[in-house]
A and B are shown apart, each in its own frame.
Chain A
Amino acid sequence: MNKALVINPEKCAGCHSCEMICSLIHDSECNFVLSRIGIMKSNGGGTNENIPMVCQQCREPFCADVCVMGAISRNEETGALIVNQDGCIGCKTCVIACPLGGILYHYIKQCSMKCDLCNGDPACAKSCLYGALEFLPMDEWGRKKRLKGAQNLSKLLDVVYK
């Protein structure tokens, strides 16, 4: 795995275009219920009104751990965790086990669905107009993350010393 889907919640405008393109590509239908990515709206308060939530492709994934059919496996090429939809029995244990809500239940196919990074070329990142979703190489991501951490720290120091 040398690339990762990076989320910048402060840039998200909440336009839901990533949800639309995601369901369109995977299920030929624009339907946010069938989307692997979801924009969560906070109910007032806080400056970040919209936060995109998507599978983080964990290194030690709970979902693959609890799957009684061994249907969740990693694609070594892209680093994405893939649900084998023929193997899935739709028991939803993975939905319960995931702390981030990264894996969802597909009510039409009656099985679990999750982000598969579109075989290494995520459509959501390409469709995002605001740069809230980016598909970046790991080293570049690390640099950006460090910069963002520094910005957060300076904000926090402002709060502390105000």
Chain B
Amino acid sequence: MGNGIGGFSAASTARQIDPLCDVTVISSEVFPLYSACALPDYISGHRSREQLFVKTNRDYEQLRIHMQFGQEVREVDPVSRKLSTARGESLCFDRLILATGSEAILPGKTKKGVFKLRTLGDADELLKHGGRKAVVVGAGPIGIEIGIALQNRQYEVTIVEMMDNVLPLGLDGRGAGRVKAILAEHGIRVFNGERSEKILGNGQVEGIVTNKREMKCDTLVWAIGMRPRVDLAREIGIKIGDKGGIKVDRHMETSIPGIYACGDCVESMDILTGEPYPSLFWHNANRQGAVAARNCLGFPVEYPGSQSILNVDVFGNHVAGFGFTEAALHRFENIKGLGGKMATISVFEKEENQSYYRLVLLDDRLYGAQFINLDSGAGLLWSLMFRKKSIKDIVKILNDDTRLIHNPWLRPIKPFFV
């Protein structure tokens, strides 16, 4: 159920493993698989609508996947293994994979001129609306990308963020300050630490009131985050975790045997801390789908854990980050739970004219990194991070030329530590 990347990955993996099994994809969307990550490019006009699609209907036919697009599932009976759709059809299944995805958080009533950006339909609506003055609420990667895209369409853009930083989940103070400066340089105003309180206007948006000021606008975009879509799972009686996603084990199986879940709707464990959280990333959904399909068909595979990666292009400046920020590590209630004993946080940081990097270490393991305009070595650090390598061992190799000869791939990260 669901035709995002999680659902498609599960369906195509099932077909790959077992050429004879019967695979049906039921989705409320009418389109084949498209990339929601490319929607800001579509809004800014850099990509056409056709270029958003990753797969065509023909690909589904070639994989012999039955398509049931534009269908809502009404009821699922996990005991007799039957489900019924809104059109009144009923289907039998041996195994069910839930990939219902996520939805944008949209507080309050919708008015004309209030938008979110989650699906292709949302983007089409936003494009049809001709406005001049836009306020984007939320300065996460989606908020910033929409802001830049709208500015490309000749909008006057303001971004309002409740937290103290832009990109609060990806960057710490100094890096975020740089990003904010870049945005301001190109004419996007950013107000940090302001909570939006009221939307003005009857029927049509006329402005927004925050706790510090009142702004006029004719377009309002909510980009304050995504929430897993778990209504159906709750109805079936599947356990929902504390963070709002479907609870799954390492095999992506839910609390009801025979029903699996993958993608944005589940909360999977983080690869570093082992704590469950809903990870709303394309690559995690892709892997989870493959793991769920294998386990469905009786090939036990374990999901190694989710990895987070942030990647935004801010007016030609490449902003990237992965893992946790220092602030996020401080927020863990029980830091000693991570390593078993008390741990200390240390930071490597360097700021130059064009570039900036920051590595966050907990004891001797890398837990996060942030880069601006710096590509080389980032991938190596990423893979070292989730392999849980000790930084001490790596620095030992970097400082010893004889050992470095045998590990030449470590060379690009030498400048970070020496």
Contact = CB atoms under 8 A, between A and B. Distances in A.
Interface string B274-289: 0000000011001100
A42 interface: yes
Contacts of B405: 46-48
Given A46-B401, A92-B375, A101 B38 contact: no
A87 B51 contact: yes
Nearest to A70: B54
Given A40-B411, A48-B408, A51-B408, A96 B379 contact: yes
Interface string A122-162: 00000000000000000000000000000010000001000
Contact of A45 (B322, B380, B401): B401
A68 to B, nearest CB: 4
Interface residues of A, number: 32
A36 to B, nearest CB: 15
A40 B412 CA distance: 9
B401 A91 contact: no
Given A65-B286, A70-B55, A87-B51, A93 B309 contact: yes
A96 B408 contact: no
Interface size class of B (residues with CB under 8 A): 35 or more
A76 interface: no
B312 to A, nearest CB: 9
Nearest to B33: A70
B409 A100 contact: yes
Given A65-B287, A68-B35, A96 B411 contact: no
Main secondary structure on chain B at its contact with chain A?
Answer: helix
A96 B37 contact: no
B154 interface: no
Contacts of A1: none
A24 interface: no
Contacts of A159: 402
10 smallest CB-CB distances across A and B, nearest first, come from A68-B37, A99-B383, A45-B401, A66-B283, A70-B54, A98-B379, A46-B401, A68-B282, A99-B380, A99-B379
Interface of A: 9, 40, 42, 45-48, 51, 53, 62, 65-66, 68-70, 86-87, 89-93, 95-101, 105, 152, 159
27 contacts: A42-B404, A45-B401, A46-B404, A48-B405, A68-B35, A68-B37, A69-B54, A70-B33, A70-B55, A87-B51, A89-B35, A90-B313, A91-B37, A92-B313, A93-B309, A96-B309, A96-B311, A96-B320, A96-B322, A96-B379, A96-B382, A97-B379, A99-B379, A99-B383, A100-B409, A101-B377, A105-B375
